[in-house]
Amino acid sequence: METIISDIAKHIRFRLVEKKDAAFILSLRLDPEKNRFISPVENDIKAQEQWIDDYRAREIKQEEFYFIIESHDGEKLGTIRLYDFRGDSFCWGSWILKQDAPPYASLESVLSIYEIAIKRLGFKQSHTDVRKGNTPVKNFLLQFGAEITAEDDINCYFRMTSAAFEKARNNYRRFLLSHG
């Protein structure tokens, strides 16, 4: 996969995570406003760098892709990740935007992650779990076209098909560079 993917959304681009991003990632993951619904991490830059090294091995095998979301001029806005590939289904997560990210960054990053997974990598659907208390993300996914497939005490489980993505893509095409 190319290092920088800039031909999808109007205002943002993705680039693959590098070791030099460890401090930025750690700052997002340690932010108490942002980390309520994600796996906890230690405030340890060396551990974050090691995680990135381990991730890069998975990236080389195309088992996972972890992106920095940034503006077209290179300002880091957040992170997002593709992982847990199961046949024709993928999971996405590690979606964290910094506090002052522009409002369009959330929609454009989700459009971009689905564009990459479905259009470029050939997946047919996604499976995503969201903590029950994370109402904004649950509502966002439902509005975007995902459906709840199951629930347990901790999570709601969502599925988004490629057909549902196409509908969302058409609804939000003004945020994409290519309207095709």
Provide the 10 A C-beta neighbour count for residue 60: 9
Phi, psi for 39 (deg, rounded to 5): -60, 135
In tens, the pLDDT along 3-27 reads 778 889 999 999 999 999 999 999 9
Task: Indicate the helix (H) or strand (E) that contains 97.
Answer: strand 89-97
Q: Is the pTM of this model over 0.85?
A: yes
Q: What is the reported pLDDT for 37?
A: 61
Pairing of strands 125-131, 89-97: parallel
Cα torsion through 10, 95, 17, 85, rounded to 10: -100
Pair 72, 63: CB distance under 8 Å: no
Q: Measured between alpha carbons, how far is 98 from 52 in angstroms, rounded to an integer?
A: 19
Do the domain assignments include residue 63?
Answer: yes
What is the pLDDT confidence band of residue 38, given thresholds at 50, 70 and 90? low
Domain around 57: 4-175
CATH number at residue 44: 3.40.630.30
**What domain count does the chain have?**
1
CA angle 9, 63, 7 (to 5 degrees): 15
Is 38 among the domain residues? yes
pLDDT band at 36 (very low <50, low <70, confident <90, very high): low
In a domain, 180, yes or no: no
What integer is the mean pLDDT of 103-109?
Answer: 93
pLDDT bracket for residue 180 (50, 70, 90): very low
Confirm if 91 and 84 have CB atoms less than 8 A apart. yes
Q: Tokens 């971009």 identify what position?
A: 112
